[in-house]
Structure 1
Amino acid sequence: MMNDTEINDFNHHTSATASKMSLVNPQKVYTLNETIRVKIVLFDHKNRPKTRGGDMLIVWMRDKTKGAALAGSVIDHDNGTYTGTLRILWAGHAVIRAGILCTREKMVFMQREFKKGYVGKNITCLFHAPNLTEITSGHMDHTFLRMGQVCNLTDKHYGVPLYCDKPKKNGTQCSHWTSINSVPFVRMTLKPNSEWFLKTAGPDTLPGNITVHIPSAPNPTLSSNNPCSRTNFRHTWLSNPAGFFHNSTWRPLSCFNYITGNDVDRCLANRTLRMFGDSTVRQLLTFLFKYQNLTWRIGPKDTSSNFIPTSKWYSYSEAHNKRFHYTVFWSPHGLPMSFEHANRTAIRPSFVHLDEIPSGSRDIVLINLYAHFLFFPLHMFKVRMKHIRLAIERLLRRSPNIKIAIKGPHYFVTHDPHFSLGGMWGPVYAKIIRQEFVALYDRVIYLDLWDMLVSVENANIHPSEQLLMTMLPTLFGYVCIK
């Protein structure tokens, strides 16, 4: 891809409005558990067929009258054509749609921007010496070591690359580093021939749709009789699709769960739910605070709609249930998250926290890294996931009864294309996670929320309260034995 030549000629780019979708071997009616295939042919903005692959597509189908929705999978034939596959899991009818998640040209463009040194966040390092304070630029990529006059703070940053420009004031040294700021986002500066990048902000849906009919049956949906708490965790990594909605209720394909608030209390009794991630995981803490009658202990409490934390939310937060004696806490996953005047302890990466969990723990751990890494080159995410995987292996050896879940990327729409690609790179990050954890499929739960949010066309980076009400029971269904 990096050798593509016509990247800045918008007429050569894939056009959703010019592209076409059709049924493969169409039938008048379909039956439960049958697979529907659609052929997608991509065209550029001059209505010329694309002759190579590399575009990232999604397909999904819905029956809004039944609260039913399902995401499919897409095969790239590397010639401009794609096959979408969807499994029929409910009776009635379904409307099939397809969209271009990200064009090949956009992916190439962002890779080149990262290679040229663009990052989407402005990191600054604060140095404090007696009667002296200085702020310098910070970097997280090893390429900045070549600049020469930098403080290599990697060792102080728990082995995660961190380089700060050396302070210039006499008496201020690298050893005087105290804290980090990483709040401001950095808008891309585009040349006139690259302004096409701003033409579209999110996934582009192909015109039209396909409606299929599925006759009623004694059992109107296809679902499992096996409780999720008793299923092998491997299924959470391999199930395709991960599940589907029916009656506005999410149903994992490989198992079933029905979790109430009382079940959650009994499950968490005398334990700690440890959550590491960004604001989308922080939402889960405030959701549990509201619905599980928790007492707030530590950290900023205020939230706006959909449990989105407000100002200076990015510090450790904790709540407690007195009756059942359990604690729920959230901690940021470390840089490149947003921090303001955060010291070395506050920006600890999540794998450091994992190493601090004591032997014999029966706690529940939820980890999510995604949105903030979208502003940085992919290799940074790969390295961090390796750190986490190694920490999890150590944790499982000393605490074999602990429950660990990795929350995968979630689908959302990017509203401002000035800042990288947002949710359009989800499948790339999911693939990295799956490859890194392949040896732990039997020991670690994978919360595959991508299918869930694609199927209902979620737009917001912070999912709605209704979706949070679906995500948490999915987690607890695997870790709580009823």
Structure 2
Amino acid sequence: MGRGFPNQPLRRFAPATSHKHDGDDYPTLTSRIPTPDIKQVNISLDFPTSPKLSYYFVKSNKPYYLCDTIEVSIEARNAKNESKVYGGDFFFAWIHALRASAAADKIIDHFNGTYTAKFRLHWAGQVKIIIQLVHSAEAVDVMKRIRDNFPARVVYGAEFYAGEHTTSVKTPCYIATDMYINPKEKFANMTFCNFTDDRTSFPWFCVKPKMLSCDTYFQHTSTWDYEYIGDLISEDEIRLISGPNHGVAGFYYKDVWHSLVCHNRDDNLRLPEITKCLQNHTLYFLGDSTIRQWYEHFARFILKESKVEKLHAMSGLGPNMAVDETHGIHLKYNWHGYPVKVHVHKALVKDIEYIPNRIDDIESDKKVVVFITIWAHFSGTSLDYYRNRLYKIKDSIQRLQSRNAYARVLIKSANTIDYWGNRNCTPWYYWSLDQVMREVMSGIDNVTIIDVWDMTIGHHSGYRIHPNVDVIAQETDMALSFLCSDD
């Protein structure tokens, strides 16, 4: 299978308000996010973990055979070429060969500056090992402090319109009134418009325009300000910011994903099988733009006889619908509600609907499938707020199941991202959210979590917050193998 490697350098990664709702009594779950307290040792931001000086090596030079496990030792070293004495570094690790790749089964943090990555060998031939330092322990410590102590570091925008939409006023919005207001903006003697949802109690507040009423709130617009984070941390910490420890979900072989945790079909479903399986079903795609990719893939490539409609949607936020009239299959896509990071598009306020409300409106006598993902727009909130959102969704899923015996629910995990240096959108933030989702949503009867984190680490196309069509095809094939199994 391959022989041991000499010491190899690591690859560099490419470019306290709780806000917990009053009356919510949900448990706090953080056991999946191991973050050692590195302040117990003397650390220097000047000498974080160095990807150039850190290295890894295969523990044994013996020949390896199919289904063996390769253990790789990683030693973290700082910029002074000194061995690190504490853990907390965040790595990606995978092996690959021609048309085959797989993420590490696990990366074990020994909390002393050393780590062990384990890879199960699922195909024959030579493999290349890649260990990538995504965030140093020092960067993770800074990100954790920012997330826990300054959740209101991202503010969103609202547009209020007067008259026949001839003039508009833009003001900041957030999930709480203790939002950050840029000192350069003139919002003296502020009052707030309270747009808290009546059904879910999810909060949303916007600064009220001086000359307009709250009911002139017409559309959600771009994120207001990303630079507030610069007021919270030092220049050294900003430069510092600018490992997963769970069983691997599967591997790619000949560009086809093979799951190790699910009994999915080995052969791809054919179009007649899919249409027969989904006949007379309504499929709801609820969440961010990564679940919209699923909706678009179903509409364009799977249900080729569908008619795609944009229901007065101004942007990719939906609502959108596609219909295959021949087989009675309806696809419906809706956003997950606020917060929404939109950089180019704008969204009509009337089009933004929270997931629990959408699920509660599903009829009880219909054959339905609900696909959910909610993560990419929550890196600027506290874990308490995100956890609360998940529990409200979980409650709505259970209500749906109690009234609709036909309902099937699948939750898509977070995926890796093309990290471009945005300090509020780091891989560690998204990985932390994903760990919380798995804890909250695991154990619900007849709910399946589709693990796409490893699918996007291991694919040769690289990290993208919006994976390419080959990855989306494998993700949807995995989902269909659950929905259309013979069991």
Q: Is the shorter-chain TM-score for this pair beyond 0.5, marking a shared fold?
A: yes
Residues 1:187 and 1:151: Cα distance change in structure 2 (over 3 Å): closer
Q: How is 1:274-285 mapped onto 2 (pairs within 5 angstroms)?
A: 274-285=284-295
Residues 1:121 and 1:133: Cα distance change in structure 2 (over 3 Å): closer
Quote the Cα distance in structure 2 between the aligned partners of 1:239 and 1:111. 20
Whether contact under 8 Å (2:45, 2:240) holds in the other structure is no
1:250 paired residue number: 257
Quote the Cα distance in structure 2 between the aligned partners of 1:180 and 1:196. 35
Residues 1:358 and 1:6: Cα distance change in structure 2 (over 3 Å): same
SS of the residue 1:84 aligns to: strand
Find out whether 1:418 has 2:422 as its counterpart: yes
Quote the Cα distance in structure 2 between the aligned partners of 1:91 and 1:3. 41
Quote the Cα distance in structure 1 between the aligned partners of 2:135 and 2:355. 30
Quote the Cα distance in structure 2 between the aligned partners of 1:375 and 1:241. 28
Whether contact under 8 Å (1:128, 1:178) holds in the other structure is no
1:320 paired residue number: 323
Q: How is 1:330-349 mapped onto 2 (pairs within 5 angstroms)?
A: 330-338=333-341, 342-349=347-354
| Deviation larger for 287-296 or 46-55 | 287-296
Q: What CA RMSD, in Å, does the superposition of the two structures yield over aligned residues?
A: 3.3
SS of the residue 1:412 aligns to: coil
Quote the Cα distance in structure 1 between the aligned partners of 2:86 and 2:341. 38
Select the residue among 184, 190, 197 that pairs with 2:238: 197
Q: TM-score normalised to the size of structure 2?
A: 0.79
Quote the Cα distance in structure 1 between the aligned partners of 2:368 and 2:117. 40
2:193 paired residue number: 151
SS of the residue 1:122 aligns to: strand
Select the residue among 428, 432, 436 that pairs with 2:432: 428
Whether contact under 8 Å (2:38, 2:86) holds in the other structure is no
Q: How is 1:9-158 mapped onto 2 (pairs within 5 angstroms)?
A: 9-24=44-59, 26-64=60-98, 66-114=99-147, 115-116=149-150, 119-124=153-158, 126=160, 134-141=169-176, 143-144=178-179, 149-156=191-198, 158=200
Percent identity of paired positions between Structure 1 and Structure 2: 22
1:268 paired residue number: 278
Give unmatched runs, 5+ long, in structure 2. 1-35, 182-188
Quote the Cα distance in structure 2 between the aligned partners of 1:141 and 1:79. 40
Give unmatched runs, 5+ long, in structure 1. 204-237, 302-309
Find out whether 1:389 has 2:432 as its counterpart: no
Quote the Cα distance in structure 2 between the aligned partners of 1:326 and 1:7. 61
Whether contact under 8 Å (2:306, 2:322) holds in the other structure is yes
Quote the Cα distance in structure 2 between the aligned partners of 1:182 and 1:153. 15
**1:110-140 C-alpha deviation (Å, 9 max, x unpaired):** 3444434653453225376899965432111
Read off the aligned partner of 2:307 and give its amino acid letter: W
The Cα of 1:410 is off from its aligned counterpart by 0.4
**1:256-308 C-alpha deviation (Å, 9 max, x unpaired):** 3122222221111111111012222222222222222143342189xxxxxxx
| Deviation larger for 26-35 or 151-160 | 151-160
Quote the Cα distance in structure 2 between the aligned partners of 1:152 and 1:85. 50
The Cα of 1:395 is off from its aligned counterpart by 0.9
1:365 paired residue number: 370
SS of the residue 2:76 aligns to: strand
Read off the aligned partner of 1:22 and give its amino acid letter: F
2:300 paired residue number: 290
1:447 paired residue number: 450
Read off the aligned partner of 2:373 and give its amino acid letter: N
Aligned residues: 432
Whether contact under 8 Å (2:155, 2:174) holds in the other structure is no
1:183 paired residue number: 222
Quote the Cα distance in structure 2 between the aligned partners of 1:182 and 1:425. 23
**1:32-68 C-alpha deviation (Å, 9 max, x unpaired):** 322222221111122122211222222211112x434
Read off the aligned partner of 1:456 and give its amino acid letter: H
Whether contact under 8 Å (1:6, 1:12) holds in the other structure is no
SS of the residue 2:118 aligns to: strand
Quote the Cα distance in structure 2 between the aligned partners of 1:448 and 1:124. 34
The Cα of 1:461 is off from its aligned counterpart by 1.5
Quote the Cα distance in structure 2 between the aligned partners of 1:39 and 1:89. 20
SS of the residue 1:106 aligns to: helix
Whether contact under 8 Å (1:188, 1:419) holds in the other structure is no
Quote the Cα distance in structure 2 between the aligned partners of 1:50 and 1:119. 31
Q: TM-score normalised to the size of structure 1?
A: 0.80
1:228 paired residue number: none
The Cα of 1:478 is off from its aligned counterpart by 0.6
Quote the Cα distance in structure 2 between the aligned partners of 1:156 and 1:341. 24
Whether contact under 8 Å (1:74, 1:84) holds in the other structure is yes
Whether contact under 8 Å (1:413, 1:424) holds in the other structure is no
| Deviation larger for 364-373 or 148-157 | 148-157
**1:386-417 C-alpha deviation (Å, 9 max, x unpaired):** 111111111111113311111001012212x1
